[in-house]
Structure 1
Amino acid sequence: MAITSAMPATTAMPTAKKRPRRTHTKRVSHLPAIKLSQIPPSDIDLRDPLKAVLHCRNCNTWCPITGMQGREQKLVPHHTGKAGEEPPIRCRNSNRLVEFDLTLPEWHQTLADAHKDTLSRRPTNVLRKPKVQPAPAVSQIASQQQADDDGDGRTLWLVREMGWASTQRAVRDTDARRMQRPDGQAPAEGPVLPLEPADLDGYAKRQAELGETYRPRCSAGTA
């Protein structure tokens, strides 16, 4: 005689139920009633008064209000989780009374005022300050001075001075040609400007002193 073992039947785990629109239970929560004047106007939807819903702060979901045509209005019994997916945990705000201490026009006006207040608190465009270039460090200044070298050990200012000395005679010749008066009527007389230093010896001495002054700088630049 063959003995067959029966497989144990697997029972499905209960899940949260869909929230009813209306309920006929007489149970009332022991928690104090929710007054409309004490909650934000955006936490309740009265656009269709017979299908009013309220934002339950305990489970952070929208919950229908039952008894809109009766003497008591309260939140329908509901679970905290999503219907058909999460465990059936009963919300503590189930069957909690809702006190309508505001009329429908007063709720509409309160909602409009809150919307205007939200728009007035929106941030304006921020004007950013212009970015200021920071001062270079001492090491950067030293590296820049090294970069100013022309490659053969001479600094650029020395190269410019040597270039000016090589063209000084040509410049003087050009200035002398400019001073030559063309043929024709002489221009009006004016003050005579000196073309050469009045004291040639003092001028030469001054140039020699300047050369002695710049010589240590040239030596430091080529070091």
Structure 2
Amino acid sequence: MSRKRPGRVRTKNTNRREALKLSTMAPEDYNVRPGEVKSIACPDCRTWRRIMGDTVLKIREHCTSDRVADGEKHVTCPGSNQLVVIDIDVRRWHARQNRLLRDAMPQENRRAARQFYKPLPASVAPVARIHAGVTLETARRVYLAHVEECVRCGTGQYCTHGGVLAHRYVLVLNEEPVRREARKQSAPAVRKVQWNQHGGETVETANNQCRPRLDGALSEYRGPQVPTKPLRVNA
């Protein structure tokens, strides 16, 4: 990409005025953006003109009218060849102009200076790595479901997950007798707590209120008159 060269100053003449400082002008009356052609609004004719030169800056020579080609008289603007001094902080001016342009932009065309992306949710751990709350029934069900879906495990050759699930099922199966024994040992303690909660007198009173059942009745809600065979009605 070719570098944009500044305009050459073809004359050493000036308008014999004091150098124009950008600090004395409105920020929107000149353009000194990096990488762009420097330009300024002429203080005399208020038209935008190019700033020529690299070290010595001047306003390009121009006329007061833009219709010289239409026959109007060529009159040189008094602001031609005006010396210009850049005595401002270009970076600060550039940032302020960008902020003003962004504020003046319609709301539907605005865009945040920084984009924030929603983080992707973490992938769920495979079933073979989940160990919490595994029982004999869940381990068996998960293993059989995997065998039905996996083509390799269906032939008897376990894949990586299938081998882990089979090992877990065997492990839980071997630990099941120990768990049953622990549940049996804890059952009397649970019954003792329940007995203490309800109280012995309440249970004894309920047992004393038992009445003899009718002959042939299985319970108080069914009697011997209830048929036990299906009723067939001839059409």
Structure 1 length-normalised TM = 0.38
Q: Quick one: higher RCO (CA 8 Å, sep 6+), 1 or 2?
A: 1
Structure 2 length-normalised TM = 0.36
